[in-house]
Amino acid sequence: MTVIQIIPFQKYSGKYNMEYDLYLFNNFEQGAIPSTLRIYGWDGPCISLGYTQDQEKELNIANCKKYGIEIVKRPTGGGIVFHNEHEVTYSFICGNDENKLPEGLIESYKFISNLVIKALRKFGVNAELSDTRHNEQARLCFSFPASYEITLEGNKIVGSAQKRDKKALLQQGSIFIRNTDLKPADFIKNCIDFKSIYDINGLEIDQIRLSKALSTEFSKIFG
């Protein structure tokens, strides 16, 4: 039987969050820890870039410095994500050969994303997994290697990406609960502002309750 460890919700800096996820990924690859679900938040505004992106080309660095926006690189690929203190982020690490997951990047990505959807629906968020391959607007700021995104009423509300190595996979996903007064387009070049769950349906979602719902859905599958 698969057993996962769950690291419960805490808020940290962007640098700490990304280093911790990579630390867990490397430890799993070395056989030092079991499959791991980590759920966390951000202690302030932060922009994360996919590991292949160049911050000088993608960001307005002067504005980021002026408003104290932290900038970090994710170990996963994909596009830019604008994080804030209302967000809930998860990282899930397991083996590429995990028998509870379907084979392949896309199918495993979709399987994990559907667990997030189940957690969100407990709060009345009627999220769905949509094919956004032909949505040019979605590519401008929050594009990821997988073609399928979690949306609500046509708006992307979860940004996700996956990294794979010889033995392990890491999937990170950011759930956009509520926006702040800061506008992503002021800091990210060629970017449009986006809607959070609160913007779309007015739902207030507690971060701790959502983190527990995520833990429950993952535990149902992975033990």
Active site residues: 141
Give, in order, the Cα–Cα distances in Å from 113 to each of 101, 151, 166, 214. Answer: 12, 11, 22, 11
- In the numeric block, the tokens 């391959």 are attached to 133
129 DSSP β-pair partners: 150
CB 70 within 8 A of CB 45: yes
46 DSSP β-pair partners: 70, 83
Give the residue ranges of DSSP H helices in the chain. Answer: 14-29, 55-58, 61-66, 105-121, 136-139, 197-201, 207-222
DSSP-assigned letter for residue 197: H
